[in-house]
Structures are given as structure tokens and as C-alpha cells.
Copies of this chain bind each other. A is one copy, B any other.
Amino acid sequence: MSKKIGVAIVGSTGYGGVELIRLLASHPLAEVTSVISSSSAGTPITEGYPHLTGIHEELLDDVDAATIKSKAEVVFLATPPAVASKLAPELLEAGLKVIDLSGDFRLKDPALYEAWYKKPAADEQYLKQAVFGLAEIYGDNVKGASFISNPGCYPTATLLGLIPAVKEGFIDPSTIIIDAKSGVSGAGRGASLGTHYSELNENFKAYKVNQHQHIPEIEMVLSDAAGAPVVTTFTTHLVPMTRGIMSTMYASVKGERSQSDFIELYKSFYAGRPFVRIRPEGQWPATKEVWGSNYCDIGFALDKRTNRITIVSVIDNLVKGAAGQAIQNLNLMMGWEETLGLQFVPVYP
């Protein structure tokens, strides 16, 4: 049997952490050797997650860099805001590779972080070091890096849907409007009125309109793609379902383009990237069609009457929007095949 590398997960009792455990269980070259939760250390993870009975029976570890180092080579951080900013430097100093799933190292400008997250930013030295792991776009930077900042869920669906058109000048970036919708698991496992079943079931709601902390992340990357500052309108909604994100995006088309021009551009842009699937004309992806998998599916509708393009992009927020892309980054970082441990067929129905 091939030797697997050890992987530690900090924040194992959140949905991101537990999804990493699920996905890594079938990874051929990595295995989870430590699941860590500062709040529940010493108890078995099956207490809070009985679905792991017989699969992961180990007790939860406490956070300690030396102990982690003795068990693992890579650490995933699936922690709340402003935790990784303190933890990552320590783990990196200890010689560990770090993949951070939180938002702490995504924004390169600390002032921007503090304005949108209302928390102290991470040290600039580490902000610079962290590679933004939007795998299909910055995968080359990820290769061989030791510190990755995994993108947010909304930005992943949105950016994969917009970047080719922005980069190739097919759309006017100043006209971009993003109407995003997410399942409830994106809000995490914390209990509040905002995650209460009776409040969300048979309900559709908008929240944080123009105020979501993923806005600067989206604009940072779009500006990079456009080569000039991009400002967007971005609305988030909560859908009565557990998993799935759809970004419906609108922009004015530059010049004369047909719908199939867009399809061809995206197919060629994402050629060789197995996790982005471009849909044929007249077909728009539904969130269930990527459920449980690492795919991002994209479809188009061009309206000749207004010369606007509508781009529909879907992901599973816990997979491609979090744990799955983090493993994709692990694979790239280690120089492995990008798809290792990620070839799940979407669960349908």
C-alpha cells in the first residue's frame, strides 16, 4: 500500500471540517491523522456527528502546533473569522503546510478586511505569502506553495462564471450585477434564529444586501482579471435547502457576440480543467446537478433585445465552495493529479 501523508483538520466540528473528513476518507495519498477542536477536545467526534460511527472514532485533539507537527504534514483550517489569522503563522513556523478555509487571508489589503469583516486583519507578511487558491485561475501559483488561502463559496461560483468574459473583454465590467443564492449550510452549524428550521423552511429571503464580506474578494479578483478596478452589485439570498449555491450574473455585452461565442470561449478557457462543465445552448445548470461533488457548472443566455448576457453558475458550497476545492489545492500543492479523491459523481436525486 502506498504511504499516505498525514493531514490535520482544525475546526473539525463545523460543516467545513466534517466535509473534509468525508472527502478525505477516499483520498488515495492523504489521510486524516488528527481532527482538532479547541472547544470539544477530548470527546469523540461521533458525539456530535453520529454519522461518523465506525468511520472516525478518534477523540478530538486540542490545538497544539508541536503535536500537529508530530502527526501531520498539512493542516486545514476550518475556523471562524479571526482565528486562522493567529493560528496560521504559528503552524507555518512549525514547518507545516497550511490550507486556510476561512476568510482571514483572502484580502491582500488589511484595511479592506477590517472594513468588511469588522475584525483585526492578519499580519501583512502572511497576507502576502498566502496564495489565493481559486484553483482553475491561480492553480499555477498553488503548485509548490506551502500556504493557501481557499476562496469563499460565493466568490468561487461567481468568479468562475465571470472571469473568462471579463478577461477576454466580452462584457463591460462596470455593468456586472450578481444575484447569488445559497443553501443554509453556508451559515455554519451555529444555532440562531437565522438558521432555525421553522424560520427558513418554506421561505426565501434576501440578506446582507450590498454588505456581504465576499464582495471585496470578488472585486479583488475581477479587478485582477480586468486589469482595472471593478465594482459590482452583489445580493445574497437564502434558499430553503441545505447545500448549493447559484450565482445568476448579468452584464452588458461588448461588441457583437452570440451565445455560442460565450460557450466556445468558456470551453476553451476551461479546457483541461475537469471540474468546470460548460452547458450547451438553452441549458442552465441546477444546484442539484453538482450536489455533493466538486463541479462548477456554467450556462448562458444572451438577450438580443438588451444585448445583456445572463450567466448561471452553480456549485455545492461545501465541496467546490469549501472542502473540495481545499483538497483540490492540496493536490496541486503536492504536485499530485488535481482530481485525486474528488471524483464523486453528484448525488442525484
Write the residues of chain A forming the contact surface with B, with a CB cutoff of 8 angstroms: 15, 18, 21-22, 25-26, 49-55, 177, 179, 181, 183-185, 187, 189, 191-193, 195-207, 209-210, 231-233, 235, 237, 239-244, 246, 248, 250, 274, 277, 279, 283-293, 297, 299, 301, 303, 305-306, 308, 310, 312, 314, 343-349
Contact = CB atoms under 8 A, between A and B. Distances in A.
Contacts of A206: 246, 248, 284, 286, 299, 312
Contact of A201 (B184, B205, B207): B184
Given A52-B345, A189-B199, 4 more contacts: A189-B193, A203-B288, A204-B314, A243-B349
A248 B238 CA distance: 13
B177 A308 contact: yes
A203 B233 contact: no
Contacts of A202: 183, 201-202, 241-244, 288, 291
Given A308-B177, A345-B21, A195 B192 contact: no
A285 B348 CA distance: 23
A191 B193 contact: yes
B239 A240 contact: yes
Nearest to A243: B202
